[in-house]
Copies of this chain bind each other. A is one copy, B any other.
């Protein structure tokens, strides 16, 4: 009988160090031997309103321990599947990128170097922001790889070119991505309400091939309809700004925008995406725990990531 974890510890969620999903740590980026490498990028100098996303990686790690029940993977009764079996999907937590306060260039360079090492190791890179500016070095790190298509879940288009000299803040990442040769296009989902991107940014994005969907447009299409807007058979880099979700479930973020996605609306797109092509990189950004007193934003981030990883590896195995 295996009920009692007789051979080891009970290891309740509140017990022990906070690593992502309570998985092992490997801070030597040259020695990663895993299927997934989770990297924190605690940068928040790019934000235009509430700062604090530098504590996003810690909050997500702590929240992820809630979902670390059991020793044999996560059973989902709706899909009748055990996701992320410990012996088959090796996840490691590779720690955080070194940050240099006051210096965006160095911080981004450190992030890019770290992601390049993860890619080189063959593990799936999963980055925990930090504000959305951290996506810029992440995308750059793929410059030597096969082309990627970006799927963005976000309230904001983040397509500002340059303003007062700023090119690498949290309003710029999708514009920076669109300039990269290895980025073949962007699907931008959840975009709504006023933001730092003005009309010209939307026109620019469309001109560069972006497909833009609001929450209501995505809702009307349904998950299947949304998936049809995304090129099939591509290599996907998925960037999830937690403010793509509704403030009711993601209050702890710098620039909340009402009218966002509820949980399953996003998850069903992600679950479909893993069957439509190959997910080669993921970031989840803008969790700011100082504005999340009940912790639900951290739980959302952890739950989204762990389930998304489950989908990805279930698809790879089948």
B-binding residues in A (CB < 8 A): 2-5, 9-19, 25, 40, 42, 44-52, 54-55, 58, 61-62, 66-67, 69-70, 72, 74-78, 82-83, 93, 95-104, 106, 133, 157, 160-166, 168-170, 191-200, 202, 212, 214, 216-217, 246-249, 251-252, 255-259, 262-264, 267, 290-296, 299-300, 303-304, 306-307
Contact in complex: B10, A164 (CB < 8 Å): yes
Residue of B nearest to A205 (CB): B77
Chain B residue contacts of A3, Cβ below 8 A:
160-163, 200
Chain B residue contacts of A58, Cβ below 8 A:
14, 18, 62
Query: Contacts A52-B51, A258-B299, A263-B258; is A93 near B17 (CB within 8 Å)?
Result: yes
Which one of B93, B99, B161, B293 lies within 8 Å of A15 (CB-CB)? B99
Contact in complex: A69, B17 (CB < 8 Å): no
Q: In the docked arrangement, what's the CA distance between A15 and B247, Å?
A: 23
Contact in complex: A49, B246 (CB < 8 Å): no
Query: Contacts A48-B12, A100-B166; is A69 near B195 (CB within 8 Å)?
Result: yes
Contact in complex: A263, B259 (CB < 8 Å): yes
Chain B residue contacts of A264, Cβ below 8 A:
216, 259
Contact in complex: A16, B95 (CB < 8 Å): yes
Which one of B4, B25, B72 lies within 8 Å of A17 (CB-CB)? B25
Query: Contacts A52-B290, A193-B303; is A42 near B15 (CB within 8 Å)?
Result: yes
Contact in complex: A77, B10 (CB < 8 Å): no
Contact in complex: B247, A296 (CB < 8 Å): yes
Q: In the docked arrangement, what's the CA distance between A294 and B165, Å?
A: 31
Query: Contacts A77-B191, A165-B106, A166-B100; is A198 near B44 (CB within 8 Å)?
Result: no
Query: What is the minimal beta-carbon distance from A206 to any residue of chain B, in angstroms?
Result: 9
- Given A3-B161, A246-B263, 19 new contacts (CB under 8 A): A3-B163, A10-B98, A14-B58, A14-B99, A16-B40, A17-B93, A18-B18, A58-B62, A69-B196, A70-B198, A100-B166, A102-B133, A193-B307, A216-B264, A256-B299, A257-B303, A259-B263, A259-B264, A293-B293
Q: Chain A interface secondary structure, helix, strand, loop or mixed?
A: loop
Query: What is the minimal beta-carbon distance from A37 to any residue of chain B, in angstroms?
Result: 14
Q: In the docked arrangement, what's the CA distance between A291 and B295, Å?
A: 8
Residue of B nearest to A12 (CB): B48
Residue of B nearest to A67 (CB): B194
Q: In the docked arrangement, what's the CA distance between A89 and B106, Å?
A: 32
Contact in complex: B77, A214 (CB < 8 Å): yes
Q: In the docked arrangement, what's the CA distance between A12 and B196, Å?
A: 9
Chain B residue contacts of A198, Cβ below 8 A:
70, 72, 75
Chain B residue contacts of A165, Cβ below 8 A:
4, 100, 103, 106
Contact in complex: A12, B49 (CB < 8 Å): yes
Chain B residue contacts of A40, Cβ below 8 A:
15-16
Contact in complex: A15, B164 (CB < 8 Å): no
Q: In the docked arrangement, what's the CA distance between A125 and B263, Å?
A: 35
Which one of B55, B100, B163, B166 lies within 8 Å of A14 (CB-CB)? B55
